[in-house]
Structure 1
Amino acid sequence: MAERGPSNPDPSVEVRQLRALVAVAQEGTFTDATIALGTSQASVSRLVASLERQVGVRLVERVPRGARLTEAGEAVTVRARRVLAEVEAIARGGGQAAGASAGVEVHVGYAWAALGQHTTSAQRRWAAQQPGSSLVFVQVNTTTAGLLERSADVAVTRRRLDGRRFETALVGTESRWAALPSDHRLARRRSVRLGDFVEETVAVDARTGTTTQDLWPAQAAPTAMRETHSSDEWLTCIAAGQAVGLTSQATTFQHPRPGVVYRPVLDAEPVPVWLAWWRDEPARWVDDLVDLVTELYRHPE
């Protein structure tokens, strides 16, 4: 049965209560949340418990390996992050977040490779078109590339996000490339095909990557998939000869690595590139950014 709050919830929720809840959500344990906040575990526990009493519903469950948000806790945490983002904007002298006016930094989240070869061009064009404003790229290896975490105002993704919460715009496509150990048998070729990976172990990032077993027909799939959790871990695994990888072309520009070579995969479908933002919080600069990035993908510098 779904949990329900009181008919007259206490409206006096405090910022420190929201910070405690978000810290527990982000860190996964009360102990780590305590370290992140620089306070005591008893204090974090009290703040979360008092917030639960005020909203009238359990937000966090203690589990053997730490803490887990309830369904209600996830919903409250999303709202808490929005409130904290507004508080931070006010502390910075806010009121400018709605538009790209002088002194505003637009934070663009990404999980792996930002906009690849277009990243710097986008920053320079934006600065020229929006005097006093700047694009700041922030790497956040989560499914929403920083949107849900409130680390980003807009995100670059290569998976389309949930349309109920996020607005998305397709800004371009990128070819798919193989990442190979420099001494690998395929590294001697100028290009490769999907069928060349039948006997290989392929490194993947299941949360944010673009490579899944669905790329191959069942009878021609790689021998195994090896899960990694960041671009650095992925590249380190490949450089050591423990696996090969497939990725979008942007990775080849953003992540050159000794011991790793990149080769185009001729018969793979292109990778779509999306910009995404909160559906209920569209900033007036979003259309300008979409137009700018779309133009760069159409006509690279």
Structure 2
Amino acid sequence: MSVELRQLRALVAVVDEGSFTDAAIALGTTQASVSRAVAALEANLGARVLRRTTRSVAPNAVGARVLDHARQALAAVQALEQVAAHADADVRLGYAWSALGRHTVPVQRRWGEQHPGRPLTFVFVATPTAGLAEGLSDVAVLRRPVDDPRLAVEQVGLEARYAVLPTGDPLAGGRSVRLAGFAGRTVALDRRTGTTDEQLWAGSPAGSSPGAYREVHNVEDFLTMVAAGQVVGITSEATTRQHRRPGVVFRRVHDAPPVPVLLAWWREDPPAGVADVLALVREAYAAGAPAARA
């Protein structure tokens, strides 16, 4: 036989309440039931766990150690039950870079108006699926293709690309730049979650491509290196809205293709409310489409 939760609850109740009688009251059962549960626990463990006298009951040396693990086990089960009970309490929207940019707060507010008491929570997870694979998000905001047939993926909008430059950089003097302006420069690439790779310059004239590439692992690494003058980069418009910082300027890349904004979720287990999330985000990007293409 294996240890059961009711046996652990009986042990904890007896120790906390100080007697089998009071433990039975606390658990809403009979004294005989509590006694049987503790006896079964001791039989399963092959060791006594309580020291009984005519006046008191307390854990022995083995019981003290068992009691500690019993409390941890019961706490873990309670946490699992709470997670399951609140599974539909909110919708977690994972992102690996910049959420929804300027649409983030408006979408949250609109969601709150339509779904009072059920928040739309943005969760930063710097992984290729923005938390889906890790079980940390219900819906993921992605800006690069994901090749996983288990995921349903829908495009919800487009974002312009912007150069990310240190203050005082020669490219920062104008209102916009061109891809050829990066010729010979060291460009930062986040190959796991970023939106820029060497293909952006595919087909460009000889000598107009970056001179080198440097790996970064998240938006903080990226912006810190740009501010220090170690690299330049290209990112989506959303980054310019959510990650402004001293020492970094953004300029529109005039001839770069836009970045597709995607929402993804598990195909066989769609979260409740995913259709509403899709509709809200699509509406937000459609309303801002002229600005994104300007």
Note whether the superposition's TM-score is higher than 0.5.
Answer: yes
Q: Based on CA coordinates, which of the two structures has the bigger radius of gyration?
A: 2
Match of 2:82 among 82, 88, 92: 92
* Residue identity matched to 1:190: R
Alignment map for 1:137-156 (pairs within 5 Å)? 137-156=122-141
Moved more, 113-122 or 152-161: 152-161
The residue matched to 1:172 in structure 2 has which SS? Answer: strand
Residue number in structure 2 paired with 1:113: 98
Distance in 1, Cα, partners of 2:257 & 2:78: 42
| Amino acid across the alignment from 1:255 | H
> Could you tell me how far apart the structure 2 residues matched to 1:136 and 1:234 are?
25
Q: How does 1:118-267 map to 2 (within 5 A)?
A: 118-216=103-201, 217=203, 219=206, 220-267=208-255
Number of residues of Structure 1 aligned to a counterpart in Structure 2: 211
Alpha-carbon distance in 2 for matches of 1:154, 1:88: 26
- Relative to structure 1, the CA distance from residue 89 to residue 131 in structure 2 (aligned partners, 3 Å threshold; closer, same or farther) is farther
**254-263 vs 281-290, greater mean Cα deviation:** 281-290
Q: Distance in 1 between matches of 2:274 and 2:125?
A: 20
Q: What's the offset of the Cα at 1:209?
A: 0.4
- Equivalent residues of 1:89, 1:95 under 8 A apart: no
Q: Which amino acid aligns with 2:231?
A: A
8 Å CA contact retained: 1:203, 1:227: yes
Which of 231, 256, 262 is residue 274 of structure 1 equivalent to? 262
TM-score norm. by structure 1 comes to 0.67
Please state whether the residue corresponding to 2:84 is helix, strand or coil.
coil
Look up the SS of the partner of 2:111 in the other structure.
Answer: helix
1:289 to 277, 280, 286: 277
- State the 1:88 CA deviation: 8.5
Shift of residue 204 of structure 1? 1.2
User: Could you list the runs of 5+ residues in structure 2 that have no partner in the other structure?
Assistant: 3-76, 290-294
2 CA distance for matches of 1:282 and 1:96?
A: 16
- Seen in structure 2, the aligned counterparts of structure 1 residues 268 and 88 have a Cα distance that, compared at 3 Å, is farther
> What runs of 5+ residues in structure 1 fail to find an aligned partner?
1-11, 13-86
Query: TM-score, with normalisation over the residues of structure 2?
Result: 0.69
